[in-house]
């Protein structure tokens, strides 16, 4: 297995090469085969690697592929490593990834960019796998940037629509801000530690903290965390993720819910020793809790089926950061895993709805789809229950453990925020369920008024009689994810991860026995009731007494809140006003004043003009007449003799 | 009697030393070149020329002369590869052969061989296939080799005159063309004038040091100023420098160069630009190091050093600026490259100054001096030969492809050739990672190391200017509309193609493996 680790990212990469270079010449069937073969094979290899690692505590497989960069004291090995943490990540990425690839075969069936889509998706898999397999932070950064690139490419997949291209650009630019911090952090790591390897860093940080370098460590921690907030859509850099929903829905499921956006959590868990030593964890926890609350508040009033899920993702990622911030890295990764299951499920189910309704995403034009799409509705319900944290579903266990650890760590305020967010989560999730699947179908009212969908094609709203279940190639993955969302909570991910030796340094969490103690039982009851309260409230408001919401929005605070939430608290507008516009203005000024006027006109143009002028003047020496030449020569002789004798003194 | 030069002693029966076989063996490459030249000249008498046709076919002529050059080159290579035994004197100290002069000789033979190869098609096309051409090239190459190896002032003067005569005639080779005659005449008249200065300078040096032998002159310098006439020596050196500056085309002694370069056949221009420059720089470097870096007992050494540095720096700056700036406004590629040849003389002068400085300050104690000049000259020779061969290769009828406009659309018509020209031009301009870049890097780096910031800065700034005119060729080839030129005629151009391929390939290799060639130039530097 040691020598086969590199195959895990290579296989999807081969799929990328084949579909990217030859895809447009091959039949669809072949494209489909190569698209899914790479991820599936990687999944099998990952399973084998995982089995080998899972055997004992702290066991790891390492493949060293020599040096990547060697320049002076800078030494970056090309090393891959599978331990418990990256093993879990591998399974999630390849497992969920393969399911989403299969689903996409159906979802993207009629798209003209079919091979291109799968090429990007395979490239994403390869980059994501490099990210988790890397044994040093520079190689991780290669994957980190690779997934960012693929995210950009896939958000703007339907690039002919300007707003999609803009969304891709926004994601890319916002991520650059985070990456800037990340890269600075890496530089600082090199200056401080002289190595990039995770194990050495975790150990080195623990040793350093006792010495004197605590402020350097703090800066490393905060810079890397800035990188993580960019990639994992936390305050203040979360704004790109909702816009990223412009991409095809499988992309939203894979990249913007299950895998890429969680790489910030992975980074924190990977460098848990360093983060604990750096002392930035309280900031991480606060940011996480606030993001969780903010995402949930915005999700309450969104009407786009994918936007609700996007803000929900932001919110759930906030939970994970909260978990990591209180030192419970294993629990954070646990929530990452269960979230990957149920959020991928929700997105894919939403995709199935969108697919059935011919690319309609507005929930106000849905409703009553339970009867039309019973399987989709069922799996969506499962996902919604898991997201709400309904007892015994996957989300229930992982979220409650985060809340439990928060309280256990003495962060009562953060716990309260998390608890309120849990109620809100259940509420907006079932608001969505009610709007989409219950009640009456509201789409046919607009029938005949064709509009342009995200791909720029004219679509007609589906007549209620035309709505059909998606094909089984799409429903199959949904069912599997549904089962995982139901049963995923019984996986003992934190316990498994805490088995790894270096994880135990994480704030003494490892000393605690894993299992329902009295504190945990209380937590379960509280968490379960929060979910149930939220669900019941949603049913009350949107199913049993529909007038309630209208009446609430009639009151002044209700109206204000609804507007704030619907408009995402005007954060995008504020960023635009405070950052984007001044920046553009400065850029424009610099462009016209410095670049156009000074550099182009005065320096470049002026130099050229001056040199040409001199040239034209000097060429007059070249008269072509021998007397002139002779005079010049003799003058030169006199001049040189003078210089010679003068210089000799 | 002691004060007389060695060559005058020859009349005395007491010291008459017969020429030994060792002497003849040492100049074997020269003898081969001379012999081949003579054979070719005689053989041409017996070649029949088909009457009434503009075209001639004398493949044997080309083959034989190229073969001669190649054998001479192989001979020099063999001598270069042999273990280094230091400088050895021959012909009673008239010649001194060391690795440096051998390396320079190799460059000269290389230039001759490529010129002969590139000329084959053109001469045939233009009906100029006469034995004189080959003989003149070979003779001038032979005298250039002697020039680089000469260890006495008289030998140097004689060989310089021989090579100049050959080159004057070569310039006028297309004797039915007005500008060819005009260029040659200017070259000859101004050349005679400068020869006068040179000869006067050599006489002054002899007068001051009482010797024509470089080894004895060095000993006299070391001995100090007691018996040295310092003003006379300074004047002599200045006049000698003027004579050599004329040959290398340094401003303001360059005025013949653009006209002569433009008038001559493109191939001949390439030959001149390479070989005359290589030979002259070999001697200039040797003299500069001898006079400018020899530690002397009195103040004369410091005076000479200061004077040489000041004079050469002035020349270098003026030459770099003038060459590059005037090249910018040329419309003809040939004239542009003529001015660019002047500009490169400026860069090489910087190399000479830094070599002098390095040797004087002991930086070059173990490694020898002038490796930057040597390293620079090799790709410069290849690039120049390649570029002028291209001009000749693309010629139609009796015209070479000279104007910049005539390169329009070449990128579409002849993509491979255009790519080759592109490489040559960016290498001339010194854009990394080409051979020209490494050469410039080395020279400017040494200039900075030896404290000549001003020279390095001038060189760098003027190099930037040069990018403009070198790339204008590229712009014409790729980015200009046009290219409605009729395709090249069907005459065979295999030899030209081969010459271009070899030179461009070599430029590419030097660019990719600079380290190898740098090590070679270190090994063959002047000690």
The distance from CA B506 to its chain's CA centroid, rounded to whole angstroms, is 18
What is the Cα–Cα distance from A80 to A197, expressed in whole angstroms?
11
- Here the tokens at position A242 are 């909702």
Peptide bond into A236 cis (omega under 30): yes
Position A515 confidence tier, pLDDT thresholds 50, 70, 90: very low
Residue with structure tokens 């979360």?
A238
Q: Which of A129, A507, A490, A475 is nearest to A281 (CA)?
A: A507
- Chain A hits for B304, CB-CB cut-off 8 Å, are 648
- Chain B hits for A633, CB-CB cut-off 8 Å, are 190, 193-194, 246, 252-253, 255
Which has more pLDDT, A193 or B278? B278
- Chain B hits for A636, CB-CB cut-off 8 Å, are 242, 245, 251-253
Residue A73 Cα, gap to closest chain B Cα (Å): 23
Task: Output the pLDDT for position B227.
Answer: 64
What is the Cα–Cα distance from B503 to B435, expressed in whole angstroms?
12
Q: Which of A8, A287, A240, A236 is nearest to A122 (CA)?
A: A8
Task: Output the pLDDT for position A290.
Answer: 94
Alpha helices, H only, A194-255:
198-210, 214-231, 240-243, 249-253
Least confident range of A72-76, A361-365, A449-453, B261-265: A449-453
Position A500 confidence tier, pLDDT thresholds 50, 70, 90: very low
Q: What is the mean pLDDT of residues B205-213?
A: 89
**Residue A543 DSSP SS3:** helix
Position A212 confidence tier, pLDDT thresholds 50, 70, 90: low
Contacts of B145 (CB under 8 A, 6+ apart): B27, B29, B30, B33, B105, B108, B109, B279
CB-CB contact of A255 with A197 (8 Å): no
Residue B500, Cβ density class (10 Å: 0-12 exposed, 13-18 middle, ≥19 buried): buried
What is the Cα–Cα distance from A311 to A111, expressed in whole angstroms?
27
Asked whether the predicted pLDDT for residue A60 surpasses 80, the reply is yes
CB-CB contact of B115 with B133 (8 Å): no
Considering A515-529, A599-613, A624-638, B456-470, the range whose residues carry the highest mean pLDDT is: B456-470
Asked whether the predicted pLDDT for residue B367 surpasses 90, the reply is no
Decide if B312 touches A, using CB distance below 8 A: no
What is the Cα–Cα distance from A479 to A472, expressed in whole angstroms?
10
- For A81: left if phi > 0, alpha if psi spans -120 to 50, otherwise beta; the answer is beta
B465-492 pLDDT, tens digit each: 899 899 989 988 888 777 666 666 666 7
DSSP assignment of B360-408 equals: HTTTTTTT-B-HHHHHHHHHHHHHHHHHHHHHHHT-BTTB---BGGGGT
CB-CB contact of A140 with A266 (8 Å): no
Check A647 against B311: CB less than 8 A apart: yes
**Disruptive mutation site among B263, B307, B324 for chain A (greatest number of A CBs within 10 Å):** B307
CB-CB contact of A419 with A560 (8 Å): no
Residue of B nearest to A621 (CA): B255
Q: Which of B310, B441, B456 is nearest to B371 (CA)?
A: B441
Position A8 confidence tier, pLDDT thresholds 50, 70, 90: very high
A368-418 pLDDT, tens digit each: 888 888 999 999 999 999 999 998 888 898 998 898 888 888 888 999 999
Q: Are strands A458-459 and A451-452 parallel, antiparallel or unpaired?
A: antiparallel
Please provide residue A69's backbone torsions phi and psi, each rounded to the nearest 5 degrees: -130, 130
- Chain A hits for B298, CB-CB cut-off 8 Å, are none
Residue percentage of chain B with pLDDT more than 70: 91
Task: Output the pLDDT for position A519.
Answer: 67
- Chain A hits for B190, CB-CB cut-off 8 Å, are 626, 629-630, 633
- Chain A hits for B259, CB-CB cut-off 8 Å, are 622, 624
Residue percentage of chain A with pLDDT more than 90: 41
Task: Output the pLDDT for position B277.
Answer: 94
Asked whether the predicted pLDDT for residue A445 surpasses 60, the reply is no
B160-175 pLDDT, tens digit each: 999 999 999 999 998 8
- Here the tokens at position B180 are 């060819």
Q: Which of A464, A207, A479 is nearest to A358 (CA)?
A: A464
Task: Output the pLDDT for position B487.
Answer: 61
Decide if B469 touches A, using CB distance below 8 A: no
Asked whether the predicted pLDDT for residue A424 surpasses 50, the reply is yes
- Here the tokens at position B150 are 């000469």
Give the closest of B252, B310, B326 to A632, CB-based.
B252
Q: What is the mean pLDDT of residues A457-464?
A: 54
Check B234 against A608: CB less than 8 A apart: no
Asked whether the predicted pLDDT for residue A457 surpasses 60, the reply is no
Q: What is the mean pLDDT of residues A117-134?
A: 94
Give the closest of A622, A630, A643 to B190, CB-based.
A630
Contacts of B157 (CB under 8 A, 6+ apart): B198, B199, B202
- Residue A644 CB neighbour total at 10 angstroms: 24
Q: What is the mean pLDDT of residues A143-149?
A: 92
Asked whether the predicted pLDDT for residue A649 surpasses 80, the reply is no
Position A180 confidence tier, pLDDT thresholds 50, 70, 90: very high
**Disruptive mutation site among A614, A631, A648, A649 for chain B (greatest number of B CBs within 10 Å):** A648
CB-CB contact of A105 with A35 (8 Å): yes
Position B156 confidence tier, pLDDT thresholds 50, 70, 90: very high
Task: Output the pLDDT for position B86.
Answer: 81
CB-CB contact of B91 with B23 (8 Å): yes
What is the Cα–Cα distance from B477 to B207, expressed in whole angstroms?
56
Distances (CA, A) of B152 to B156, B157, B158, B200, B304: 6, 9, 10, 15, 20
- Residue A603 CB neighbour total at 10 angstroms: 11
- Chain A hits for B261, CB-CB cut-off 8 Å, are none
Task: Output the pLDDT for position A385.
Answer: 93
For residue B264, the 8-state DSSP code is S
- Residue B14 CB neighbour total at 10 angstroms: 5
Q: Which of A315, A323, A363 is nearest to A343 (CA)?
A: A315
What is the Cα–Cα distance from A319 to A312, expressed in whole angstroms?
11
Q: What is the mean pLDDT of residues B495-513?
A: 91
Q: How many residues does chain B have?
A: 527
Least confident range of A18-32, A447-461, B16-30, B270-284: A447-461
Residue with structure tokens 């096309």?
B125
- Here the tokens at position B110 are 């290389």
Asked whether the predicted pLDDT for residue A456 surpasses 50, the reply is no
Q: What is the mean pLDDT of residues A42-51?
A: 92
What is the Cα–Cα distance from A251 to A105, expressed in whole angstroms?
13
What is the Cα–Cα distance from A448 to B303, expressed in whole angstroms?
100
DSSP assignment of A384-440 equals: HHHHHT-TTSHHHHHHHHHHHHHHHTT-HHHHHHHHHHHHHHHHHHHHHHHHHHSS-
What is the Cα–Cα distance from A339 to A128, expressed in whole angstroms?
17
- Chain B hits for A649, CB-CB cut-off 8 Å, are 303, 306
CB-CB contact of A131 with A139 (8 Å): no
Give the closest of A614, A636, A646 to B325, CB-based.
A614
CB-CB contact of A345 with A445 (8 Å): no
Check A649 against B306: CB less than 8 A apart: yes
- Chain A hits for B233, CB-CB cut-off 8 Å, are none
- Residue B321 CB neighbour total at 10 angstroms: 20
- Here the tokens at position B463 are 């190099």
Dihedral in degrees, nearest 10, Cα atoms A450, A452, A457, A461: -40
Maximal C-alpha separation, chain B? 76
Decide if B256 touches A, using CB distance below 8 A: yes
What is the Cα–Cα distance from B146 to A396, expressed in whole angstroms?
95
Task: Output the pLDDT for position A191.
Answer: 86
- Residue B186 CB neighbour total at 10 angstroms: 22
Q: Which of A390, A395, A383, A371 is nearest to A480 (CA)?
A: A383
Please provide residue B125's backbone torsions phi and psi, each rounded to the nearest 5 degrees: -60, -35
Decide if B261 touches A, using CB distance below 8 A: no
- Here the tokens at position B255 are 């005025």
Task: Output the pLDDT for position B5.
Answer: 53
What is the Cα–Cα distance from A607 to A600, expressed in whole angstroms?
10
Task: Output the pLDDT for position A441.
Answer: 83
Residue A220 Cα, gap to closest chain B Cα (Å): 37
Q: Which of A14, A79, A2 is nearest to A40 (CA)?
A: A14
Q: Are strands B95-97 and A451-452 parallel, antiparallel or unpaired?
A: unpaired
Residue percentage of chain A with pLDDT more than 70: 92
Distances (CA, A) of B217 to A391, A503, B220, B225, B228: 104, 81, 5, 12, 10
Check B329 against A612: CB less than 8 A apart: yes
- Here the tokens at position A491 are 């996986």
Check A644 against B325: CB less than 8 A apart: no
Residue B223 Cα, gap to closest chain A Cα (Å): 19
Q: What is the mean pLDDT of residues A504-527?
A: 56
Distances (CA, A) of A519 to A130, A384, A406: 39, 26, 12
């Amino acid at each position: 297995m040691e020598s086969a680790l590199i195959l895990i990212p290579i296989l999807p990469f081969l799929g990328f090469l084949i579909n990217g270079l030859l895809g447009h010449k091959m039949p669809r069937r072949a494209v489909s085969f190569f698209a899914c073969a790479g991820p599936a094979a990687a999944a099998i290899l990952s399973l084998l690697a995982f089995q080998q690692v899972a055997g004992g505590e702290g066991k790891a497989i390492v493949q060293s592929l020599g040096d990547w960069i060697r320049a002076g004291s800078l030494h970056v090995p090309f090393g891959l490593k599978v331990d418990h943490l990256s093993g879990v990540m591998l399974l999630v990425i390849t497992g969920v990834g393969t399911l989403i690839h299969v689903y996409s075969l159906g979802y993207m069936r009629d798209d003209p960019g079919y091979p291109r889509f799968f090429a990007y998706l395979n490239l994403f898999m390869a980059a994501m796998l490099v990210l988790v397999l890397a044994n040093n932070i520079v190689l991780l950064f290669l994957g980190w940037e690779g997934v960012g690139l693929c995210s950009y490419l896939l958000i703007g997949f339907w690039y002919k629509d300007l707003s999609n291209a803009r969304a891709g650009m926004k994601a890319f630019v916002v991520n650059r801000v985070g990456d800037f911090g990340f890269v600075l952090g890496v530089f600082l790591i090199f200056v401080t530690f002289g190595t990039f390897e995770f194990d050495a860093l975790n150990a080195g940080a623990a040793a350093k903290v006792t010495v004197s370098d605590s402020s350097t460590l703090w800066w490393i921690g905060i810079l890397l965390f800035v990188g993580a907030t960019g990639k994992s859509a936390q305050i203040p850099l979360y704004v790109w993720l909702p816009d990223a929903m412009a991409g095809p829905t499988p992309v939203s499921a894979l990249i913007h819910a299950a895998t890429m956006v969680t790489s910030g959590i992975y980074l924190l868990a990977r460098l848990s020793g360093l983060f604990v030593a750096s002392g930035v964890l309280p900031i991480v926890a606060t940011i996480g809790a606030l993001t969780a609350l903010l995402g949930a508040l915005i999700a309450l009033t969104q009407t786009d089926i994918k936007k609700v899920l996007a803000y929900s993702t932001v919110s759930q990622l906030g939970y994970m950061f909260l978990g990591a911030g209180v030192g419970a890295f294993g629990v954070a990764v646990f929530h990452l895993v269960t979230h990957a299951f149920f959020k991928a499920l929700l997105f894919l189910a939403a995709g199935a709805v969108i697919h059935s309704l011919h690319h309609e995403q507005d929930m106000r034009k849905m409703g009553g789809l339970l009867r039309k799409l019973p399987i989709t509705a069922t799996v969506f319900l499962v996902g919604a229950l898991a997201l709400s944290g309904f007892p015994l579903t996957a989300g229930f266990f992982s979220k409650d453990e985060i809340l439990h650890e928060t309280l256990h760590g003495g962060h009562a305020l953060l716990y309260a925020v998390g608890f309120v967010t849990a109620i809100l989560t259940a509420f907006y999730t079932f608001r969505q369920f009610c709007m989409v699947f219950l009640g009456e179908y509201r789409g046919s009212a607009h029938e005949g008024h064709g509009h342009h969908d995200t791909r720029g094609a004219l679509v007609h709203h589906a007549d209620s009689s035309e709505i059909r279940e998606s094909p089984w190639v799409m429903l199959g993955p949904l069912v599997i994810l549904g089962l995982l969302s139901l049963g995923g909570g019984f996986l003992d991910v934190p316990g498994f991860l805490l088995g790894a030796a270096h994880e135990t340094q994480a704030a003494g969490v490892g000393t605690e026995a894993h299992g329902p103690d009295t504190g945990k039982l209380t937590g379960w009851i509280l968490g379960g009731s929060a979910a149930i309260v939220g669900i019941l409230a949603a049913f009350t408001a949107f199913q049993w007494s529909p007038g309630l919401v209208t009446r609430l929005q009639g009151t002044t605070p209700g109206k204000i809140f609804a507007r704030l939430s619907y408009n995402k608290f005007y954060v995008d507008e504020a960023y635009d006003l405070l950052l984007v516009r001044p920046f553009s203005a400065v850029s424009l000024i610099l462009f016209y004043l410095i670049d156009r006027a000074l550099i182009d006109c005065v320096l470049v143009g002026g130099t050229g003009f001056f040199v040409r002028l001199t040239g034209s003047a000097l060429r007059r020496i070249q008269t072509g007449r021998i007397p002139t030449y002779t005079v010049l020569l003799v003058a030169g002789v006199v001049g040189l003799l003078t210089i010679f004798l003068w210089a000799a003194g | 009697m002691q004060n007389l030069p060695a060559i005058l002693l020859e009349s005395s029966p007491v010291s008459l030393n017969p020429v030994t076989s060792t002497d003849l063996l040492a100049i074997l490459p020269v003898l081969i070149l001379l012999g081949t030249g003579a054979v070719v000249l005689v053989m041409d008498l017996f070649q029949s020329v088909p009457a009434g046709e503009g075209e001639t076919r004398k493949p044997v002529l080309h083959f034989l002369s190229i073969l001669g050059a190649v054998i001479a080159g192989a001979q020099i290579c063999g001598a270069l590869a042999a273990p280094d035994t230091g400088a050895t004197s021959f012909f009673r100290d008239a010649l001194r052969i060391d690795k440096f002069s051998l390396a320079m000789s190799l460059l000269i033979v290389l230039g001759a061989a490529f010129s002969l190869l590139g000329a084959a098609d053109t001469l045939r096309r233009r009906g100029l296939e006469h034995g004189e051409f080959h003989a003149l090239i070979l003779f001038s190459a032979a005298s250039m080799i002697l020039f680089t190896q000469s260890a006495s002032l008289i030998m140097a003067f004689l060989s310089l005159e021989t090579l100049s005569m050959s080159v004057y005639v070569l310039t006028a080779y297309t004797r039915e063309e007005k500008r060819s005659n005009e260029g040659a005449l200017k070259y000859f008249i101004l050349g005679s004038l400068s020869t006068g200065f040179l000869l006067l300078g050599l006489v002054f040096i002899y007068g001051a040091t009482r010797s024509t032998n470089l080894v004895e002159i060095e000993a006299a310098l070391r001995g100090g100023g007691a018996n040295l006439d310092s003003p006379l020596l300074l004047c002599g050196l200045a006049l000698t420098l003027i004579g050599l500056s004329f040959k290398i085309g340094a401003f303001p002694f360059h005025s013949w160069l653009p006209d002569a370069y433009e008038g001559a056949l493109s191939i001949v221009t390439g030959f001149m630009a390479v070989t005359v420059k290589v030979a002259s720089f070999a001697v200039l470097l040797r003299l500069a190091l001898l006079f400018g870096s020899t530690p002397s007992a009195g103040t004369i050494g410091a005076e000479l050093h200061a004077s040489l540095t000041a004079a050469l720096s002035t020349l270098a700056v003026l030459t770099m600026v003038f060459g590059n700036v005037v090249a910018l406004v040329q419309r003809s590629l040939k004239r542009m490259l003529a001015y660019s040849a002047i500009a490169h003389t400026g860069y090489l002068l910087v190399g000479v100054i830094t070599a002098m400085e390095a040797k004087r300050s002991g930086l070059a104690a173990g490694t020898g001096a002038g490796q930057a000049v040597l390293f620079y000259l090799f790709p410069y020779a290849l690039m120049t030969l390649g570029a002028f061969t291209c001009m000749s290769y693309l010629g139609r009828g009796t015209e070479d492809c000279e104007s910049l406009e005539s390169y329009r659309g070449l990128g579409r018509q002849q993509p491979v050739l255009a790519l080759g020209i592109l490489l040559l031009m960016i290498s001339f301009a010194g854009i990394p990672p080409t051979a020209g870049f490494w050469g410039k890097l080395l020279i400017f780096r040494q200039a900075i190391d030896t404290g000549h910031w001003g020279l390095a800065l001038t060189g760098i700034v003027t190099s930037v200017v040069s990018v403009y005119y070198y790339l204008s060729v590229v712009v014409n080839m790729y980015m200009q509309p046009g290219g409605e030129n009729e395709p090249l005629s069907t005459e065979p151009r295999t030899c030209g193609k081969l010459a271009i391929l070899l030179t461009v390939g070599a430029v590419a290799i030097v660019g990719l493996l600079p380290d190898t060639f740098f090590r070679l130039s270190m090994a063959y530097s002047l000690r």
